Homo-oligomer: A and B are copies of this chain.
Amino acid sequence: MRTATTAGPVNGGVAGANLGALRSHNTALVLGLLRDAGAEGISRLELAERTGLTPQAVSKITARLRAQGLAAEAGRRASTGGKPRTVLRLVPEAGHAVGVHLDRDELRVVLVDLDGAVVGERRGELDLGAGAEAVLGAVCGAVRGVVGELGADADAGVGTGTGAGAGAGAGIGTGGTGAGGGLAAVGSLLGVGVALPGPLDHVRGVLHRVTGFPEWDGFPLRDALAERLGVPVVVDKDTNAAALGLAVGGEEGAAGRSFAYLHLGTGLGAGLVIDGSVHRGARTGAGEFGHQVIQLDGPVCECGNRGCVEVLCLAAVARGEVAEAARVLGVAAGNLVGLLDIDVVLLGGRTVAGAPQTYVSGVGEVLGVRARREGTGGDAVPVRVAPRGERIVAEGAAQLLLAPLFGRGED
């Protein structure tokens, strides 16, 4: 929960909650349920049941949301013997966010609405080693491109007031440098989320290292982009962004409150969602799954250790032994499942995409053996291929801006 009007606590302790925080919390909760309901919509009374709030409180909150243009009435349900329930739904066009997936050799930029639906996209090749100026230029260009598609149509965005407690910081650096000026003029644009590989500081938005590209060490990516674009920017690891995207858009939704997203591509990493929130750790270092040691004194990994999953798994892939790669991945996934008692394992990445069924059944087999030995009550943890394929990272990056509005995915 966030304090709205008052400054937060000094010492990183748990924050006290005032009335502003209370409203923010409940508003975000309702907004989240509206989003989860999708086009089908949800009635006020159902919102009351789900939140535990009284129907009257929900009425007040939704009235505020309708006045702000974030929600609208959308038909009514069948009657059950009395006045039929009025269905409410989110107004997707009331807000937008940009998601940027910055990969080693590729750039993908998506524009999503409040619903999380992709309404614009740009793709292109990119050389992360071409220098900061070139990369930033390419990113800014692509972002301006997708946002431009919104056009004057977007000015019907979020109405008066300060949105739903997310802090109205859209005016940052309107007089920024670079060609094209700020994007703050587009009222419904909440900001830009950037996802990229390698360790970084999510809170400060500073890169630590990008494996293979030492020139990025310590680069303050968030501030650099925020200044050029004139809108808020959030930076995160690609696996965390993907996990966030899956946590939000999940058909798993209510079922899988805790899951791990395992990404097997040129490397092996994980994004963890625990109790509905992305777990990053104090230094944004969580999810280092690939360098988990599962073979003492095994083959040397580039990280310096021996017997990391990544080196074992990728070596098996290189030898063409996909089933063995899946088994190795399954053992590491089993360790993770046992440690955290998560609900679902989702697999993604280019390598998995090459033989999805093999990986799903291979990992599932290992987890199944694990569950059987636990005995009563221990159904096997399900393994699935992560939906929405390659675009999930960019979509999740956009959710870095949207999630705070809906009260999930972030603390």
Contact = CB atoms under 8 A, between A and B. Distances in A.
Interface of A: 1, 3, 6-19, 22, 25-26, 29, 32-33, 49-54, 57, 199, 201, 208-209, 217-218, 254, 257-258, 270, 272, 274-276, 279-289, 291-296, 298, 303-305, 307, 312, 328, 331, 334-336, 338-343, 369-370, 373-378, 407-408, 411
| SS of A interface (majority) | loop
Q: What is the count of identical protomers in the complex?
A: 2
B29 A25 contact: no
Contacts of A19: 22
A296 B331 contact: yes
Nearest to A23: B17
Contacts of A279: 274, 340
A287 B339 contact: yes
Given A6-B53, A18-B57, 12 more contacts: A1-B25, A7-B52, A13-B33, A13-B51, A13-B254, A14-B407, A17-B26, A280-B341, A291-B338, A292-B339, A294-B307, A296-B328
A342 B208 CA distance: 18
Contact of A341 (B208, B281, B331, B411): B281
B339 A288 contact: yes
Contacts of A288: 338-339, 341
Nearest to A379: B283
Contacts of A201: 377
